[in-house]
């Protein structure tokens, strides 16, 4: 049985760090080696066009493929970027020439699947957000180093302050770097919300005055300020890019989603932008923040890693969950299931969805929290996190592709929402001219009625 040729005018490229091997056929004269400079990439495109090549397949090797990929796309060629595990050939010796010919042969027969690639807008936003995440990691490293140098100096700021990078901690560290080593004067920077008293903070700030440790602390504090300024610049750039992207949309959603004060932001969230409104307009009227457990950082990960067009590339929600590696990988032989574990590997969006699932496990009354607790009781918390993350991915796919709102069976009410409902009920009772004490709502009235009841009446009421 012979296999039919699906792509007759196909080429295969073996990507390298210093050279690229291009094959347009299986003969010796059909393979050429090119460099990696800009003129070499242009020469590859020209040679492919001269040989009437219409489609090209290449491996996603590191970051070496990106420049060549852009050149081929700009030339109007169809480019398939595939994972290296689909191009392995165990029956031959491994050389660059044989690899590019093997890729060309597989692509001619239509055996190479294409990897997911976001659109140009999402790719630019992803660059900004990933760079911002790296800056946050570097800043966290500097905070860790500052904590170590403070301990070496016998400044036990970590004992009296929950976060040394908070308001109280940063003011004390800045004063120490300026040369003040007196505990009592340093304790005067205490914020009024700090639980420890000023006297206890002064006891924890008695230094051994080592100059080498002071020098290291100053260096790390300067590094912390530098990365903080870099993060602020990234926030401004992301804010401007999102505003420009939304303005360029043909139909901008004028509606405003419901405010969500119960979803508070932390210090690492992006500043200067309301993600509740921006994400609602970015996804054309889809309110993803309405899903329990989905935070502002999760929304930013969805916007930067997938985008509205990226989610729609998957035909079904099951394909989307499988690409995220949240669906079980069933291995069946002889009619028996040998394994149904989740495949290894992760990406930034999968990590964000797993963090959201972990937050759902700490909720009380939502439908997703009940689903989480049922699975956690049967299979453990790790399996529950994976299953809940998959469920969130399915919900996100349906909301974005079908433009459906999130409609749970039982609406989960946070404490702030319950308090607002109670205040509205009190205003309605007051407008009706009624007294809550007469209706038996107040606790004092209930206690008064219970005290007036005789033991016989109490036994009757219990019956």
- Is 408 among the domain residues? no
18-35 per-position pLDDT tens digit: 999 999 999 888 999 999
Per-position DSSP letters for 407-447, written without gaps between them: --SS----HHHHHHHHHHHHHHHHHTT--HHHHT-SHHHHH
- Is 259 among the domain residues? no
Q: Are strands 20-23 and 31-34 parallel, antiparallel or unpaired?
A: antiparallel
Best-predicted range by mean pLDDT (49-63, 88-102, 440-454): 49-63
Are residue 389 and residue 439 in the same domain, yes or no? no
Are residue 240 and residue 204 in the same domain, yes or no? yes
Rounded to an integer, the average pLDDT of 260-273 is: 85
52-73 per-position pLDDT tens digit: 999 999 998 888 999 999 999 9
Are residue 237 and residue 147 in the same domain, yes or no? yes
Which class for 357: exposed (0-12), middle (13-18), buried (19 or more C-beta within 10 A)? buried
- Is 429 among the domain residues? yes
Are residue 49 and residue 97 in the same domain, yes or no? yes
Domain housing 456: 417-462
- Is 262 among the domain residues? no
- Say how far residue 119 (Cα) sits from the centre of its chain: 18
Q: Which residue has the tokens 């560290």?
A: 173
Are residue 215 and residue 286 in the same domain, yes or no? no
Question: DSSP state, 284?
Answer: T
Are residue 101 and residue 133 in the same domain, yes or no? no
**Domain final position from 108, 140, 159:** 108
161-172 per-position pLDDT tens digit: 999 999 999 999
Residue 442 has pLDDT above 70, yes or no: no
**Domain final position from 193, 222, 245:** 245
Contact 122, 310 (CB under 8 A): yes
- Is 191 among the domain residues? yes
Best-predicted range by mean pLDDT (41-45, 97-101, 259-263, 360-364): 41-45
Are residue 387 and residue 356 in the same domain, yes or no? yes
Percent of the chain clearing pLDDT 90 (strictly above)? 60
CATH of the domain at 28: 3.30.420.140
Are residue 29 and residue 73 in the same domain, yes or no? yes
Are residue 393 and residue 441 in the same domain, yes or no? no
Residue 453 has pLDDT above 80, yes or no: no
- Is 252 among the domain residues? no
Residue 81 has pLDDT above 90, yes or no: yes
Rounded to an integer, the average pLDDT of 238-248 is: 93
Average pLDDT, the chain: 88
> What beta strand segments (E) does 38-170 contain?
55-59, 78-82
Spatial CA neighbour of 274 closest among 263, 129, 284: 263
**Domain final position from 108, 131, 146:** 108
Are residue 382 and residue 425 in the same domain, yes or no? no
Task: Provide the 3-class DSSP secondary structure of residue 94.
Answer: coil
Are residue 90 and residue 136 in the same domain, yes or no? no
Residue 460 has pLDDT above 90, yes or no: no
Beta-ladder partners of 331: 339
Give the total number of structural domains in the chain: 4
- Is 151 among the domain residues? yes
Are residue 104 and residue 126 in the same domain, yes or no? no
Question: DSSP state, 342?
Answer: P
- Is 254 among the domain residues? no
Number of helical (H) and strand (E) elements in the chain, helices listed first: 20, 7
Q: Residue 445: which pLDDT band, with cuts at 50, 70 and 90?
A: low
């Amino acid at each position: 049985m012979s296999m039919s040729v699906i792509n007759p005018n196909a080429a295969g490229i073996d990507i390298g760090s210093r050279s690229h091997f291009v094959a347009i056929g299986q003969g010796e004269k059909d393979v050429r080696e090119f460099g990696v400079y800009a003129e070499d990439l242009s020469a590859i495109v020209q040679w492919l066009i001269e040989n009437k090549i219409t489609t090209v397949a290449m491996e996603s090797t590191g970051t070496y493929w990106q420049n060549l990929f852009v050149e081929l796309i700009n030339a109007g060629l169809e480019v398939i970027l595939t994972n290296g595990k689909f191009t392995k050939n165990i029956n031959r010796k491994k050389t660059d020439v044989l690899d590019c010919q093997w890729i060309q042969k597989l692509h001619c027969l239509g055996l190479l699947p294409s990897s997911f690639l976001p659109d140009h807008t999402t790719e630019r936003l992803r660059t900004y957000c990933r760079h911002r995440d790296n800056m946050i990691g570097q800043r966290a490293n500097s905070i860790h180093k500052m904590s170590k140098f403070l301990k070496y100096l016998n400044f036990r700021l970590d004992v009296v302050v929950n976060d040394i990078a908070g308001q109280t901690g940063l003011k004390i560290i800045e004063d120490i770097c300026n040369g003040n080593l007196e505990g009592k004067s340093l304790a005067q920077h205490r914020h009024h919300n700090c639980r420890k008293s000023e006297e206890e903070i002064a006891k924890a700030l008695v230094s051994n005055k080592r100059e080498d440790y002071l020098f290291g602390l100053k260096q790390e504090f300067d590094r912390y300020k530098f990365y903080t300024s870099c993060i602020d610049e990234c926030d401004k750039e992301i804010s401007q890019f999102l505003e420009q992207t939304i303005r360029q949309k043909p139909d901008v959603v004028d509606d405003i989603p419901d405010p969500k004060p119960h979803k508070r932001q932390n210090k690492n969230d992006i500043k200067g932008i309301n993600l509740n409104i921006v994400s609602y307009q970015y996804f054309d009227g889809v309110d993803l923040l309405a899903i329990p457990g989905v935070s502002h950082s999760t929304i930013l990960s969805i916007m930067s890693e997938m985008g509205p067009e990226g989610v729609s590339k998957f035909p079904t929600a099951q394909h989307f969950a499988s690409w995220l590696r949240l669906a079980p990988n069933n291995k069946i032989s002889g009619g028996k299931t040998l394994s149904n574990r989740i495949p290894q590997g992760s990406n930034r969006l999968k990590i964000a969805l797993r963090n959201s699932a972990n937050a759902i496990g700490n909720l009380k009354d939502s439908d997703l929290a009940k689903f989480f607790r049922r699975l956690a009781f049967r299979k453990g918390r790790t399996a529950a996190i994976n299953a809940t993350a998959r469920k969130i991915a399915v919900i996100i796919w349906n909301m974005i592709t079908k433009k459906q709102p999130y409609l749970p069976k039982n609406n989960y009410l946070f404490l702030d929402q319950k308090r607002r409902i109670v205040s509205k009920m009190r205003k309605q009772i007051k407008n009706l001219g009624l007294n809550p004490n007469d209706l038996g709502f107040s606790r004092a009235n209930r206690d008064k009625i219970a005290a007036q009841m005789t033991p016989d009446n109490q036994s009757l009421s219990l019956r």
